[in-house]
Amino acid sequence: DIIFGKADGIARINTSKQHFNEVETLLNLIKVSLNDVDIPLYRDTILDYKPYDLTVDFIGICLQDPNKVKYKIKLEGLTDKFEELTYETRKKSFPKLKDGEYTFIIYAANNDGLWTSNPVKFKLSIKKPFWKGYIFYVLLVLCLVVLFIFLIIHVNFFYLFLFCEISSLVTT
């Protein structure tokens, strides 16, 4: 027991009746959107290349004290560190994602700081642009070789033409 003196008497707190909240926060993704268009949450998403703005809306429910819910979020593939957010922030944006593999991971803590044991995850893949693929480099080398051969042939014809003109001038 803890006893405190107050202006109007004594306050007594029975610490044996104080309980730690062992119930994990219920955590859920509400909405995921790319460039302000909602995408389905039931499967991993593979997208063609272009810059995307990712926005994730989420909620953690703690019935004992909803105002003390905290979040840890990370977008693997963009950052290595978790960012802590308070209950007031239930939306996170990641602007201008480039090609690559991304995994959004979120944990939530209840009013007593008990973190969820299983995070909520969402995977997202943005394909490489065509100019980052090996086929593009093969075609580029092939075009350069064809251009080089064309230039050699063109220069040889030019010199042949000059030789013919000079020899015809010399003979006349």
Compute the average pLDDT of residues 12-19: 71
Range in 35-44, 90-99, 106-115 the model is least confident about: 35-44
Residue 100 vs residues 40, 54, 82: alpha-carbon distances, Å? 19, 13, 19
At residue 7, the 3 state secondary structure works out as coil
pTM for the model stands at 0.72
Contact partners, residue 122, CB within 8 Å, separation at least 6: 29, 32, 41, 44, 56, 103, 104
Q: What is the pLDDT of residue 149?
A: 92
What are the tens digits of pLDDT across the range 27-82? 999 999 989 888 887 678 888 888 899 999 999 999 888 899 999 999 999 999 99
Q: What is the pLDDT of residue 91?
A: 92
Q: What is the pLDDT of residue 168?
A: 80
